[in-house]
A and B are shown apart, each in its own frame.
Chain A
Amino acid sequence: MKFQVDENGYYGQFGGAYIPEMLYPNVEELKNAYVGVIESEAFQKEFMHLLKDYAGRPSPLFHAQRLSEKYGAKIYLKREDLNHTGAHKINNTIGQILMAEHLGKKRIIAETGAGQHGVATATVCALKGLECIVYMGEIDIERQAPNVERMRLLGAEVRPAKSGSRTLKDATNEAIRDWISNPTDTFYIIGSVVGPHPYPDMVARFQSVISKEIKSQMLEKEGTENPSMLIACVGGGSNAAGTFYHYLDDESVKLIAVEAAGLGIDSGESAATSVLGRPGIIHGSKTLLMQTEDGQIVEPYSISAGLDYPGVGPLHAHLAETGRAEFASVTDQEALDAVYELCKLEGIIPALESAHALAQLKKMTFKGDEVVVVCLSGRGDKDLATYIKHKK
């Protein structure tokens, strides 16, 4: 189990809980409770019930025939885009809202970049009748107006993060500051496998339903649980963590994590953390981090707001360092090309984030007998304006 978190919250040298003392009691409470709660029968029953009847799981594993023909491998798409709210994010927010309920918390806070995690959080708060405050960078509020309205319709308060670069990392800072100021009644629903221990492990466990389903669906369709490889995009890395989770220890399955290269890795406008980052501390976790020589966190760039994060979850930093996963990167243009291709070949409009995973197919050479599972983490409705704008 060398890819599981250790008792101190580390994956190899990465992870930990680098938090100010103000957050210690909250994080400690969660750390001591989370495994027991998740493994309890009552929690599992409610979690599985909501995943099935509310989120619409299991999500299909779809054999994409025309895509397969084009690339010369048997390609399956794990259809997280068909979940309620349109992405894998709901798996995690259902898990965390049940955790919050269990700990008796009355007030929920979250950060969001493009708004997908904010919508998924607002959704479960409405479901449970809990107060919901979502922090979102001022710039993201402007460029993701439909998701802001969705969150408001669902009863959430959207608070602008006005500090720093006014995007995802600053929204996360604001959420953490709110948490510091409300240390007893508030639960922070983090949207990815980032943040202080136990968040990366807790979120990975909630998202691990993806690989659990892939295993049984593979067995049914291919007579074996194992594909040749799994491909997923990585920003913070929650859909990739979920897709890889049950395969981490079986090295016969190749894992490919695709980061956003933005305008190109060496362009200065990129979010490829595994290439451009060095070990550092962001949002309470030691991980690979894009930073200046002086240790200031830099603002990354990607056309995809969901991949636009200067760090990466500590599990992924460990997978990159040990070589267990292969890290690749895809530019804005390559991702857009993959969007238009999937629309035409399979009748599916993918999210920009997921398109980064799809675009990796074009860069690979297949022998013909490989079985490839690509995590289609979200649907493209939210990106329609971008797709129309860039259409040739």
Chain B
Amino acid sequence: MENRITSLFQETEDKVMSVYFTAGFPELNDTMEILTNLQDQGVGLVEIGIPFSDPLADGETIQQSSEVALSNGMTLKFLFKQLKDVRSTIKIPLILMGYLNPIMQYGVEQFCKDCKEVGIDGVILPDLPLAEYVADYKALFDSYGICNVCLITPQTSEERIRLIDEHSSGFIYVVSSASTTGSKLDTSGQEGYFKRIEAMNLKNPLMIGFGILDHETFTNATKHANGAIIGSEFIRVVKEEGSSLAEKIERFANKIKVTI
């Protein structure tokens, strides 16, 4: 089955800018407006964050946005409602990113069904370990045509990267350095790592994330990858007071992109 993520990387030569935002932040019903503006600004791929009370892999910015989103009343059930007609206007690939527990409680099969129904192309679940994914989830995800994007880090062994590549689909999320989300990337320090991964010629495209926050970090990171993911910096921008979401998102995109 055709998947929008797979098609995106097959069709584009450009570096892909991917943006993460927390659903329900800053306001409960901002989801569609944020998606529309990101698409208008030429963002290639969007990760919609399912807020969780205990986001272990996230730094302060995303933690706080999750807290606000939850207190605004965001739930996974409500998010699917918001996304019901998303495919009538949004054509770019969409990924849901979140922690496993809310999805377990929702019911994994129901989650897959609803993803397929509204047009979600993939998931990123940082606390779903590879072994559990392969044993208990992969067949289900595959049957609904949902890509599972796995993470690798500077500490991941070559052998394990090969294994992760074998079982991932969509792309590989290359975590830029040993940190939680939101701390600035030292691109020169990590170039050796990015080159090493690039040289492995994996079957999946590479997207670098964690610490990408401006034109410089984006450009440097994407020298050795298909694109890069910006999360915390986007949250910081939409949080700013005083202008409309459309204005803020335009300003953000201009800050990052050159020739997207």
Contact = CB atoms under 8 A, between A and B. Distances in A.
B106 A295 contact: yes
Contacts of A298: 53
Contacts of B70: 296
A176 B155 CA distance: 16
A7 to B, nearest CB: 12
Interface in B159-179: 160, 164, 175, 178-179
A280 B53 contact: no
A18 B54 contact: no
Contacts of B42: none
A182 B177 CA distance: 10
B222 interface: no
A173 B67 CA distance: 14
B53 A180 contact: no
Interface in B37-79: 52-57, 59-60, 63-64, 67, 70, 75-77
Contacts of A164: 53-54, 63, 67
B59 A177 contact: yes
A169 B100 contact: no
A252 interface: no
Contacts of A8: 131
Given A163-B60, A177-B56, A294-B102, A22 B75 contact: no
Given A294-B75, A294-B77, A296-B52, A22 B105 contact: no
A18 B132 contact: yes
B64 to A, nearest CB: 8
B104 A21 contact: no
A181 B180 CA distance: 6
* Size band of the interface chain A makes with B: 35 or more
Nearest to B183: A181
A266 B164 CA distance: 45
Nearest to A17: B129
Contacts of B160: 24
Given A18-B127, A21-B175, A24-B160, A180 B57 contact: yes
A72 interface: no
B103 interface: yes
B101 A176 contact: no
A181 to B, nearest CB: 5
* Size band of the interface chain B makes with A: 35 or more
Contacts of A283: 54, 56
Q: 3 shortest A-B CB distances, which residue pairs?
A: A295-B105, A295-B102, A296-B53
Contacts of B180: 177, 180-181
Nearest to A182: B178
A12 to B, nearest CB: 15
Interface string A1-32: 00000001000000011111110110000000
Contacts of A20: 56-57, 126-127, 151
B175 A295 contact: no
Contact of B76 (A17, A163, A284, A294): A294
Contacts of B185: none
Contacts of B131: 8
A18 B103 contact: no
A295 B104 contact: yes
Contacts of B150: 21
Given A21-B151, A163-B60, A163-B63, A296 B127 contact: no
B100 A281 contact: yes
